[in-house]
Amino acid sequence: MAFWEEKTLDQMTPAEWEALCDGCGRCCLIKLEDEDTGTLITSDVRCQLLDGDTCGCTDYPNRQKKVPDCIKLTPQNVVEIKWIPTTCAYRRLAEGKGLAWWHPLISGDPQTVVDVGVSVKGRTFLETDVDPDEWEEHAVDWPEWEPPEHL
């Protein structure tokens, strides 16, 4: 039995917790909040530390020092943060859904995340290259897209 099937998120080791990340980069997209309604809108503007080709953080150990509003996901907050994508392994496990078939721990291939369209690879703009006044023009709905259970 796989560790994610026999342990709760709270019981996982730091290495197991990190292994759950599918590397999609969706959590590193800039979110905008509608001041009137409180609605969160996701943009295609990525954090200054997210590599747009690998979808990896360029300074993961120091990310919270360099980006003060970077949120470290924990077993406690993963169920409370409303913008966590429905495709996120942490959210799926917290909701009792298990890992998706395209997750690298299931498929055996990190490219599957890209192939099914979950990854932000090649679809974003670097935060420092977009004027904050223009972020609203970068609102997109594709980060909410979820692939079918099987292709």
Written as one string, the DSSP assignment of 25-72 is -GGGEEEEE-TTT--EEEEEEEPTTB-TTT--BTTGGGHHHHSTTPPP
CA–CA separation, 91 and 96 (whole Å):
9
CA–CA separation, 139 and 23 (whole Å):
21
pTM of the model: 0.89
Q: pLDDT value at position 55?
A: 95
Q: pLDDT value at position 150?
A: 60
Query: For residue 96, how far is the Cα from the chain centroid?
Result: 18
List the chain domain ranges.
Answer: 24-140
Give pLDDT < 50 ranges for the chain: none
Computed over every residue of the chain, the mean pLDDT equals 92
pLDDT digits (tens, 9 = 90+) for 2-28: 999 999 999 999 999 999 999 999 999
Q: pLDDT value at position 144?
A: 76
